[in-house]
């Protein structure tokens, strides 16, 4: 069902979306086992694609708008949409991995920023605060609240630490397509924007920088970097608006369990 262009999901559809969203977490937990200094990002992409396809699912990102890979892998000052390549991960890097899975016609979309051992204290704090802002924003997904309440919550929290909040990219509705209405900015004013209705499912994804919020898009027309080359972090969950409050469909549990068993990674 659609309301003002927004797809409203019933309970059975939300449960199908939960399966897809959890499969993203499964994929990222598989990838997490192989993150270490010296590994090429295209190797991680191959691992993810093989894992998704072996579970009879489709890598949503591959071919989407011409994107050439199954994962977006964004290192250090790359905010989002990094293209997997021969670039090797190094000690002390932060590595944001965004993944989409389509299963039984429904999309799951989630992202996690991994911390390599040797991370600086300021980078550690950036990851911690960005992840915390995701959950603060998700908990605003209550029937009757508005999109602006989500953005204001994320913005106020992150800017209180002096961080930059990206304006040019935002969260979005998700369902049978990866990008549906409404847009879900990570900034805004409380009480403004579309009113949240039961059955809406949105991807909330704060993209936060250690420095200024200005960005630049590279010549490949995908890679988004901070203009001042400051570090950036990105976390994302799929969240359903229900009568009982926010229902986070995706999960970081398996990802973080994998991190605990990888001596090259730190759990933030």
Give the DSSP H/E element, type plus range, for residue 25: helix 11-32
Please, what sign has the CA dihedral across residues 147, 183, 194, 201? negative
Low-confidence ranges of the chain (pLDDT < 50): none
pLDDT at 5: 83
Determine the Cα–Cα distance for residues 232 and 74; give it in Å rounded to an integer: 9
The CATH number of residue 193's host domain is: 3.90.230.10
User: Whole domain around residue 181: which residue ranges?
Assistant: 2-266
How many domains does one find in the chain?
A: 1
pLDDT at 20: 98
pLDDT at 68: 98
The angle subtended at Cα 259 by Cα 139 and Cα 161, nearest 5°, is 45
Cβ contact 168:232 at 8 Å: no
Tokens for 205, please give them. 């994804």
Say whether pTM exceeds 0.85: yes
Q: How many helices (H) and strands (E) does the chain have?
A: 5, 18
pLDDT at 3: 58
């Amino acid at each position: 069902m659609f309301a003002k262009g927004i797809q409203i999901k019933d309970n059975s559809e939300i449960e199908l979306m939960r399966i897809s969203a959890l499969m993203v977490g499964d994929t990222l937990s598989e990838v997490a086992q192989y993150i270490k200094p010296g590994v090429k990002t295209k190797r991680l992409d191959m691992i993810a694609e093989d894992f998704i396809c072996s579970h009879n699912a489709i890598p949503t990102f591959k071919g989407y708008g011409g994107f050439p890979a199954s994962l977006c892998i964004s290192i250090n000052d790359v905010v989002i949409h990094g293209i997997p390549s021969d670039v090797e991960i190094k000690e002390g890097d932060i590595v944001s991995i965004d993944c989409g899975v389509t299963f039984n016609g429904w999309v799951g979309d989630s992202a996690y920023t991994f911390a390599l051992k040797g991370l600086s204290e300021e980078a550690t704090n950036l990851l911690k605060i960005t992840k915390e802002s995701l959950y603060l924003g998700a908990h605003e997904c209550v029937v009757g609240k508005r999109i602006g309440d989500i953005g204001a919550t994320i913005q106020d929290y992150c800017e209180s630490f002096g961080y930059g909040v990206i304006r040019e990219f935002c969260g979005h509705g998700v369902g049978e397509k990866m990008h549906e209405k409404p847009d879900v900015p990570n900034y805004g004013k409380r009480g403004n924007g579309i009113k949240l209705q039961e059955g809406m499912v949105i991807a909330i994804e704060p993209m936060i920088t250690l420095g200024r919020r200005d960005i630049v898009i590279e010549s490949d027309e995908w890679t988004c970097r901070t203009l001042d080359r400051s570090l950036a972090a990105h976390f994302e969950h799929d969240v359903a608006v229900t009568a009982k409050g926010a229902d986070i469909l995706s999960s970081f549990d398996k990802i973080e369990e994998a991190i605990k068993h990888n001596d090259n990674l730190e759990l933030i």
